[in-house]
Amino acid sequence: MDRRRFLAAAGAGVSAALAGCSAMLPSSGADDHDVGMTAQAFRPYEISVAVGDTVVWENTSTRAHSVTAYADRIPDDAAYFATGGYDSEAAAREAWNGSDGAITSGERFTHTFESPGDYTYFCIPHEGAGMVGVVRVEE
C-alpha cells in the first residue's frame, strides 16, 4: 500500500472511531445552566444577572470542582455562598478534601443573588490554575 492510501485509510478510521466520543460527555446544553465548569475554568468567566436571579453552575468536566466566593470580593451586604453550604471562605477552604463541598461531573450548584454588585468566586482545587469567575448583579 502506498503512503497516501495508508494515511487516508488511517485518517478515516480515526475519524470513525472518534465520532461517538462526544456522546459520552456530560450534557452541557446552554439552557441547562448559566456557568459550566471545564477542567480548569468557569465558562463564561463573567456573567451578568439582575437582582433576585438565580445562577446555576454545572460541572461539565470530569474533575471535582467547588464554587467558593472570595469573602472580600463580594458586596458588604451580600450573603456568602460556597458549595457545601459553608458560611465563610475560611470554612470552605479548611473543609476541602476533594469531596466536602465538591461538585462532581454533572452535578449542579445554585445561588440566588439579592444584592447588586460584583461577586468574584473561585474553585478551591484549581484556584492556582486561574479558575476564577465573576457574577455581576445589576438592579
Yes or no: say if 119 and 78 are a contact pair by the CB < 8 Å rule: yes
Q: Environment class of residue 21 by beta-carbon count within 10 Å: exposed (0-12), middle (13-18) or buried (19+)? A: exposed
Yes or no: say if 32 and 90 are a contact pair by the CB < 8 Å rule: no
pLDDT at residue 17, as a whole number: 34
Range scoring the smallest mean pLDDT among 14-28, 40-54, 64-78, 85-99 = 14-28
Residue 104's domain comprises 27-138
Question: Total structural domains in the chain?
Answer: 1
pLDDT tens by residue, 104-124: 999 999 999 999 999 999 999
Residue 4 lies in a domain: no
Residue 111 lies in a domain: yes
pLDDT tens by residue, 51-78: 999 999 999 999 999 999 999 999 999 9
Indicate if the pLDDT at residue 14 is higher than 50. no
CATH code of 63's domain: 2.60.40.420
Residue 19 lies in a domain: no
Grid cell of 108 as nine digits: 449542579
